[in-house]
Amino acid sequence: MKRLNTLTAIKSIYPAATSSERSVADFILDKPEEIYRLNIQDLASRSNVSLPTVFRFARRLGFKGFKDFKVALIRDIGVGLFFTPDNLQDGSGRSITKNLFEKEIANLRETLVNLDQRALSQAVSSVRKAERILFFAVSSSIPIALDFCWKFSMAGFTCFQSADVYAQEVASKNATKADVAIGISFSGASRETVRCMENAKKNGAKTVCVTTFINSPITRHSDIRLFTAPVAALYQKFDFPSKISQAVILDALYLQVVLKDSTNISRRISIAEEELLAHRVR
């Protein structure tokens, strides 16, 4: 799997971190520019944690120790994509709107920088060969699943999507080796979506997840993993940016599938559009 930008990795492991590790993460995410002049003792002191906690934090991120972690973080900060304002509480409608757009754009950029293009290509290949595409999602991820079920259906693919979690579970139990199952979940821990992905994988279906956190339960049942960038801000509670990034990842998947067989798929889309025209008010 492609190495994540260090700031992205910190946000991605945040939900699974201990409270003391979160203290380290909070300090770094809040004041990343200060890492240049801090040693391990300084960071521990500023985060109000012990030296072993900082060391464990670096190891959790996949580094041998603090020195390697600091070098990677300084290098990744230089990319310059991850700093946007958070002035929500006292902002006017105009400033809140501007802030939201900046957050969305920053999240898209961060997602693109860290997107595993090889995994995306594998997903494209799997979808092209699939007899059916099964979409599993709950809650606020359902509209995204419905949108892409519709898009792929318009392109001539046989798809399944339902807002009924029982129907999803039945479909996952009936999945076969000829199917591709796509699970969409911001947290990667939605019980029903994870269970459907587990069922589909047990039945031999190729499983693809679109999620945010690299060690979330859904990844354990996914052959191909596509990640959006996490958000460490008030927006995390509302989950605005990740929805846009999820949709763009799936748009990239859809467009690449279409372009691999543009003549045939364009013909199918045209047939579907002609049928829809008959239902428009004149």
Q: Where are the domains of the chain?
A: 6-77, 116-277
Rounded Cα distance between 256 and 135, Å, is: 18
Q: What secondary structure letter does DSSP report for 88?
A: -
What would the CATH number be for the domain defined by 116-277?
A: 3.40.50.10490
For residue 17, give the nearest of 31, 27, 32 by alpha carbon: 27
Q: What secondary structure does DSSP assign to 92-144, as a single string? A: -HHHHHHHHHHHHHHHHHHHHHH--HHHHHHHHHHHHH-SEEEEE--GGGHHH
For 45-91, the pLDDT digits (tens) are: 999 999 999 999 999 998 999 988 888 888 776 554 444 445 555 56
CATH class of 6-77: mainly alpha
Averaged pLDDT for residues 30-52: 87
Question: Does residue 234 have a pLDDT over 50?
Answer: no
Give me the percent of the chain exceeding a pLDDT of 90.
Answer: 54
